[in-house]
Amino acid sequence: METREDNIIRTDYSEVMQKSYIDYAMSVIVSRALPDVRDGLKPVQRRTLYDMYELGIRYDHPYRKCARIVGDTMGKYHPHGDSSIYEALVVMAQDFKKGKTLVDGHGNFGSIEGDGAAAMRYTEARLEKLTQEVFLSDLDKNVVDFLPNFDETEKEPEVLPVRIPNLLVNGADGIAVGMATSIPTHNLGEVVDAVKAYIKDNDISVKGLMRYLKGPDFPTGGLIVNKDELLSIYESGTGKLRLRGKVEIEKNKGGRKSLVITEIPYTMLGANIAKFLNDVAGLIESRKTTDIVDISNQSSKEGIRIVLELKKDADIDRLTALLYKKTRLEDTFGVNMLAVADGRPETLSLRSIIEHHTDFLFDITTRKYQTLLAKEQEKKEIQEGLVKACDVIDLIIEILRGARSREQVKECLVDGKTEGIRFKSKASEKAAAKLRFTPRQAAAILEMRLYRLIGLEIEALMAEYEQTLANIASYEDILNNYDSMCAVIIKDLDRIKREYGTARRTVIENAEEVVYEEKKPEAVEACFLMDRFGYMKLIDKTAYERNKEAADAEYRTVFSCMSNEKICLFTDASRMHLVKAEDIPLGRFRDKGIPADNLSNYDSTSERILMVAPLSAVEKDKLLFVTEQGLCKITAGEEFVSSKRTIASSRTAEDDRLVFVGLSDAMDQVALQSTGGYFLRFLKNEIPDLKKSAMGVKSMKLKPGDKIENAYLLASRTECTITYRDKPFSLNRIKLAKRGTAGTKPRA
């Protein structure tokens, strides 16, 4: 088959991939993840609200099933998953997430504690009054452009004609490709005041706007405690808010007090409330505080109420500082005011957001009054025709009676054509020839009902005409006079603030950063236990004494240590991991313990623990290291004193691993065992003292393929017995030889 050269497009593969990825990224950014600065809505939110408007699910109409709304939105405007549409609908109905809810939900729409909403087949919804009157009310006045939907069978608005900066009022969050937005909610009344201030003075600074808009206002209340940083955040569009929950002190019977959390940081919404309770319980279990007697979550639909019952002599200030420092009762909210402006993503300052929205507000107001003016001018034309027709009504009736068709009458009224029409007199015909109504006036005259000829109806018509003239003059003044348009917009904003404004919920102040100094717990002697699976625990010394036989039999490592020191874990990967003893739970003898993986960088899948010892014992001793390939060395323990969690304990070749690490000061002999069954015993003082960075010296001459399997430290006058070939075998029976020689095989 022949291929025409002019059909082959040759291009660089990287260019195709780059263009495709950029197209995809921009599609996600603009069409899915980021809100538009004009209406503050993401496409899924905008489409859902418009669909509810089209379905007639108004605030004063009955609720409709959410499944119907989701299905209709998906079929007409948003060809994505139903879960994304329902999730957007649910969030717009949750008063603990939005500054102003846009949807009135009926049924289980989730809770502040993270409970999910019921399935869409159970819940119902309708528009809020605010949404209908402030977001959707002027769609019939050509105030915004309409675009074809995904399959070009419907039309949808490019943006909704929102008359308040919804981007600030309800905030936004979303993750796009390579960028994310996080805008806090604000108080509607303060936002309206800031817009009015900008309209009156277009050169107003961010600092000037902040005289009206004090800062974020979260639906969960709480406190913002870095007031002085707000100006920088609003000027740059990025920064961090420091949030705190509101804490109150209540007196109980018996002189006790309770710490009651009545408001939480916005970031603690959902599952983080349960995490906060777990964190408080963790502080009690780890004995970082002993002031809390009981924790109870008494939150309800009326609001948050988390009660911490305290001891009589509790240090409340210190406990509050601990909660702020160690839990999410104090948290940060990352601000990144990113939105789609003029078709592209842009990080906006407070002034930029208000400027963009005010420009949009003037645009929709201009288009609204242009539409109203055109309707009034059309009405004026018709009314003038009807008034004029009333003056010559007898002539018009004569034309109607003498004409043969509607078209004849219309031509006579518009152009004065009298041919084919019978008149009672020549005077009437001459008068008819002078008629010059417009086509629209002629159509209105032909449709006029006879009752309009009653005297009172004619007076009403004249009054309507006068009103129309007044409306036209008013609309032209608004369109041609900047001050008049400003007055109309400000009047509308005042009405919105008066009807929908609420008191501020979040307190803004400056507060010093919490300083909390942990009291170091008194060091006590405990017993460290580790089983063969790497689970560690500390038990009381007396508990160990009561269970000494069982502990020594069941656990691979048992030793005494102080509760404030560090534990060293030496592994076959030539690494030493340090674990704080205070991080190991102090429990009962039969408790399971905690895996070493959880408290250190130890990885049980790639390394094996060879020796565990307290750091205090290691630094006073010397350690023997033996590898599979037969290298050995002795290293001073003080080299392993470190503040790092993990250090290299020795240097080994890539194909070599450690098989033994042991404290050697108390021993004077070393015994080696190979996988081939060879044993070698020699004096420990034949091994040189080397740095931990050294590889070591030859310990035993190995046959090809043979490896060191184990090593033992022996005392010369103490018998050491191991199990070899399922039988007891005394290492002291091995003939004492020299380091670096070949081992011997014991007789069967």
**Element holding 310 (H helix, E strand):** strand 306-310
Please, what is the Cα angle at 346 between 73 and 103, to 5 degrees?
A: 30
Strand, helix or coil for residue 147: strand
Handedness of CA 253, 258, 264, 270 (dihedral sign): negative
3-state SS, one letter per residue, for 162-224:
CCCCHHHHCCEEEECCCCEEEECCCCHHHHHHHHHHHHHCCCCCHHHHCCCCCCCCCCCCCEE
List, in order, residues 6 or more apart from 220 with CB less than 8 Å away: 96, 112, 263, 264, 265, 266, 268, 269, 304, 505
On the CB side of 267, CA atoms within 13 Å amount to 18
Phi, psi of 396 (to 5 degrees): -65, -40
Instruction: Reduce the DSSP state of residue 725 to 3 states and report it.
Output: coil
> CB of 187 within 8 A of CB of 484?
no
Please tell me the distance from the alpha carbon of residue 581 to that of residue 295, in angstroms, as a whole number: 28
Contact 90, 110 (CB under 8 A): yes
Q: How far is Cα 459 from Cα 123, in angstroms, rounded to an integer?
A: 54
Q: How many C-beta atoms surround the C-beta of residue 492 within 10 A? A: 16
Rounded CA Rg of the chain: 42
Q: Which of 21, 24, 122, 482 is catalytic?
A: 122
475 Cβ partners below 8 Å, 6+ apart?
Answer: 369, 372, 373, 376
Q: Quick one: tokens of 739?
A: 């380091």
d(CA 119, CA 630): 67
Pairing of strands 238-244, 246-251: unpaired
Rounded distance between C-alpha atoms, residue 679 and residue 725, angstroms: 13
First vs last Cα of the chain: how many Å apart?
Answer: 81
122 flagged as catalytic: yes
Residues β-bridged to residue 566: 580
Please state, in angstroms and rounded to a whole number, the distance separating the CA atoms of residues 85 and 91: 10
- Among 231, 220, 217, smallest CA distance to 501 is for 217
Which whole-number Å values give the CA distances from 56 to 67, 69, 104, 158, in the listed order? 15, 11, 14, 20
Identify the sign of the CA torsion 697, 703, 706, 710: negative
CA–CA separation, 200 and 183 (whole Å): 26
Per DSSP, the residues of 378-425 read HHHHHHHHHHHHHHTHHHHHHHHHH-SSHHHHHHHHHH---TT---SS
Q: What is the 3-state secondary structure (H, E, C) of 495-534?
A: HHHHHHCCCCCCEECECCCCCCCCCCCCCCEEEEEECCCC
Q: How many whole angstroms separate alpha carbon 76 and alpha carbon 47? A: 9
**Nearest-5° angle of CA 629, CA 631, CA 634?**
150
Q: Specify whether the CB–CB gap between 611 and 574 falls below 8 A.
A: no
Closest CA to 577 of 538, 539, 603: 603
3-state secondary structure of 64: strand
Place of tokens 């600074």: 205
Residues identified as active-site: 122
